[in-house]
Amino acid sequence: MKRNDFNSFIDEYDSFLVCSHETPDADALGSSIALTIYLNKIGKNAKYLLTDEIPINLEFLIYEKYALRKEDLIKSNYQAIFVLDSSNLRRTPLNPESKILNLPICNIDHHPDNSSFGKTNILNFKASSTGEILHDLMDLTYMNIEIAKQLFAAIVGDTGGFKHSNTSSKIMKVAADLMEYNFDSYEIKSKILDFRTKKAFSLVSDAITNVKIFDKFVIMTVNREIIKKYNLSPTEYPELVNYIRGIEGTYVAIVFTEVYDKNVKISLRSIPPVDISKVARHFGGGGHKYASGCQLNGDFDLIIKQVCDYTKQYLEGLEL
């Protein structure tokens, strides 16, 4: 049924804009590029919206042939939009007042908090990634090395290189099938999971000194002073939460990053049976059961206290 919805939406229009959430991760970017190449390969006109804040370790995925810069969006002329890997339209770089949002939207996503904002909504909350959903939707007779590479990158990104709990036997088979197209899978995994700039690694060495371990959770804090010290752009930020996951006796890892003055990005990770998305949603964010986030405005120290107090209360209510 979902494949029928996908094909019907494609058949109804001739030209498409493809976009995902701002500051895209590997799943968002890889899915967007894969779908754009696929649409052009089956005879449609499609471009994906390439924003300024592409993480530096994902720049190798950029496919210039079908890229549309945000400054050229106003001059573009499309009949429909695909929005990928975004739980709502606020997360996209599309201006909410833009006429382009009056176009029919096909919303493809795997986030449980998706608001079903499309004319067509193709949602699979059990999928590891939007890349996996696209693989299931596409006519695989059109698969080529470029599409396979992008879908593999999407899957690698959202499964953490096949480490996370969303790694199923099915997705391992999908990844193996994609690897038959002989792209450099090692390069993809290495750049997505391991690459960091020297400045970013120096920031990590400072951030590690700001780790506090509580009874059942651990936090890391990165204030504006540290951010300014290393002069990192948002595209260079390392996945700091990965450095504090898995500490003995802890179920939750939280990183507080004061990206801008009075603006704090909060990354939350957990292990079963703790559904950390409930904490994220309490503070206006969302995501998956074991990987979520939110962004809050206000005093850095006060935000840390509020989130820690709520997390402690939430964990005390569970049988762990």
Provide the number of structural domains found in the chain. Answer: 2
Q: Are residues 154 and 252 in the same domain?
A: no
Closest CA to 156 of 108, 194, 204: 194
Residue type at position 249? G
207 in the same domain as 178: no
| Boundary (domain end) residue, out of 193, 212, 235 | 193
CATH number for the domain harbouring residue 239: 3.10.310.30
Question: Averaged in consecutive runs of 10 residues, what is the pLDDT profile of the chain (320 residues)?
Answer: 92 97 94 98 97 90 94 85 94 81 94 93 96 98 98 96 93 97 96 91 92 96 91 83 93 94 94 94 90 94 97 93
The token pair that represents 171 in the structure block: 């997705």
Same domain, 154 and 104: yes
Which of 131, 165, 193 is where one domain is finished? 193
What is the rounded distance in angstroms from the CA atom of residue 102 to the CA atom of residue 160? Answer: 36
- Reported residue count of the chain is 320
For 224: left if phi > 0, alpha if psi spans -120 to 50, otherwise beta; the answer is alpha
* Beta-bridge partner residues of 266: 256, 294
pLDDT recorded at residue 251 = 97
The separation between the first and the last C-alpha atoms of the chain, rounded to the nearest angstrom, is 40
Residue 160 and residue 12 share a domain: yes
Q: What confidence score (pLDDT) does residue 258 get?
A: 92
Copy the structure tokens of residue 288. Answer: 């998956």
Q: Kindly state whether residues 137 and 29 are assigned to the same domain.
A: yes
Among 150, 165, 193, give the residue marking a domain's end. 193
> Is 282 in the same domain as 162?
no
- Orientation angle between helical segments 169-179 and 130-137, nearest 10 degrees: 70
* pLDDT score, position 97: 67
Give the domain extent around 215: 198-316
150 shares its domain with 217: no
Two tokens at 220? 């890391």
One domain, residues 280 and 169:
no
Tell me: do 188 and 212 sit in the same domain.
Answer: no
Same domain? For 204 and 120 the reply is: no
Closest CA to 47 of 35, 55, 56: 35
Q: Are residues 249 and 293 in the same domain?
A: yes
Q: Residue 14: give its domain's CATH number.
A: 3.90.1640.10
Whether the Cβ atoms of residue 139 and residue 152 lie closer than 8 Å to each other: no
